[in-house]
Each structure stands twice: as structure tokens, then as C-alpha cells.
Amino acid sequence: MTLSSLHELSERFRGRDFLDFSTYTGEEIKALLDGAKSLKILRQQGEQHLLLQGKTLGMIFDKASTRTRVSFEVGMFELGGHALFLANDATQLGRGEPIIDTARVLSRYLQAIMIRTFAHQSMEELATYATIPIINGLTDEHHPCQVLADLLTIEEKKGHFDGVTIAYVGDGNNMAHSLLQAAPLVGMNIRVATPSGYEPDATIVAQAKMSAKSSGTEILVTNDPYVAALDADVIYTDVWASMGQEESAQKRINDFSTFQVNDALFEAADDDAIFLHCLPAHRGEEVTESVLEGAHSVVFDQAENRLHVQKAVMVAVIG
């Protein structure tokens, strides 16, 4: 994909929201990934790619962030634009201004908004009233930018998606939801293993199974991590207690104790399996040091890819 084809990417997607994968096809996801690969190459070659010169992205943060904030800010800078950090407690949102008012005001100033918040419904409300694209930087229900980075990493390491099996072990949270949405669309099998009572949303699972039926892939939700990991090509986990769940952290540690990704679990996977984690990781809880720092771990390549895929999304929807 050349600079001219990156312009074509923006012609195709300009003005669209990126809230989750429910309104995207597998072919569209792959187009975004192709854009990310081209932008990654341009960066590695030191070639300027000021595709968003003069454009401004507003970034609303209700949750703490390292990778999301830095990757979006750096990405917008490298694209020639400007990223404006808007902490909740430093804006009128933090003093009770309705999000529907914020949406309409910011639409007069900015070319897009990235929001990292709690309730997915709040982001959907923002998107309803904004007249500019909304990008989901994370909600409690979905984390599509992270999964784009995951997909790019899997494609780089495996060379393709067709027939690749990803095993997600842990909480049926936003990561599980976005992986369930995206995996069958690009041709991957996905297995999700959670303790009883922590399964992913049943509606999202049902939608994923419909997508899998169309693509000829497989979906499995189980309470046995070894069933999920058996001969898997990718093992994925996330923290057991996400932001906002601190009060239940100790209970979750007890409930998830047999769902740790350790050497024994990893031995059930394919010999060439890779390990993914969206980070930050709690070493010794959901993953052992030996796996996180082991030869199969590609978590820092995965973290880097947040930058490239988010640049592709911004070029696509803003450009």
C-alpha cells in the first residue's frame, strides 16, 4: 500500500466511527491492517507521511492510560496533526456537562474524538450526537484498537489468519468481546476459557457464532483453560481485575487461580504458539514471569503495533 493507496483508504472510511467490530466486515478489517503495515514500513524507513496535517484529534480520558495515550499522541504527531488530551477532571464533563452537549461542541472544533471510558453506552451516546468520527480507545465492553494490534501481530508472526486458533484465557471482558467479534471475521478460530460466572456476554457470543458459521471457523466458550489451549496457535490473557473492579480484586484472584497462563498450560498449545497480553501485566497472577519473558512471548511487538493500527484508523476515518 503506497501513500496514494493510503489516501484511498481515507476515501473509503472517512467519517465512520470505530466503536467496535459489529459494523465492520472482515475485508474492511484487513484493509485497515494493510494500512497499518504500510504506515509501519514508512516509519521504519524514516519517510514522512503527513497525511493528517492540520487536523486535530480530541482525546477524552476517564481512565488511566499509558499505551493508548502515548500511541495516539505520537501517531497523530507523525501524521502531521495534533492530539489534544482532555482529562475528565479537567473538562466540564467532570463537572456534569451532558455528553450530548460535549459531543456537539467538540464537533465544531475537532476532526475526530478518541474516548477511553467506562460504559460503552456513553461512547455510543457521544457518537450519536457528534458530527465527527468517534474512535473507541477502550470501554468496559470493547477494546477494538487493541484487537487490531493483536491481529497485526498474529499476521506478522503466523503469516496468515486462515485456520489460526487463538485461545483467550481469563475474564470474559472487553478483550474477550472484541476478540470474539473480530476473529471469525478474518478467518480465525477462537476459544474463550473463563471461570464459571465470568463468561463473555451471551449476545456477543451468539453474534460471533453467526460470523463463524459464515466464515467456516469455530467458536468455543469453556470453563476449562486446557481445553481452550490444546494445540492453539495463540495464547492470550488479560488482567483478572480491570480498572473499576479493584474492590473485587481479591475474590477474582481466588476465582481465577486455576486460569493462570503458566508453563504447564503453554505446553498444551502448539509448539510454535505465541503469547499475547494487552498489558499492563500482573506478573505472577494471570501470567508467570517465565511465559511473559519467554521465547514465545511477543507482547512488546504487540504493544508497538498499537501505534501503527491506530494511525491507520485515524488516516481512514479522519483523512
Quote the CA–CA distance of 146 and 148 in Å, as a whole number: 5
- What share of residues in the chain are helix, strand, coil (percent, to 5)? 50, 15, 35
- Reduce the DSSP state of residue 270 to 3 states and report it: coil
Contact 232, 195 (CB under 8 A): no
Tally of helices (H runs) and strands (E runs) in the chain? 13, 9
> Locate cell 476532526: which residue?
111
Output phi, psi for 302, to 5 deg: -60, -45
Quote the CA–CA distance of 281 and 25 in Å, as a whole number: 31
Q: Which letter does DSSP use for residue 133 in this model?
A: -
Strand partners, 54: none
> Nearest 10 degrees: CA dihedral of 215, 218, 220, 224?
-150
> Locate cell 467456516: which residue?
216
Quote the CA–CA distance of 153 and 161 in Å, as a whole number: 11
Quote the CA–CA distance of 31 and 186 in Å, as a whole number: 11
Q: Which letter does DSSP use for residue 283 in this model?
A: B
Quote the CA–CA distance of 261 and 289 in Å, as a whole number: 10
- Residues with a catalytic annotation lie at 116, 143, 146, 238, 278, 306
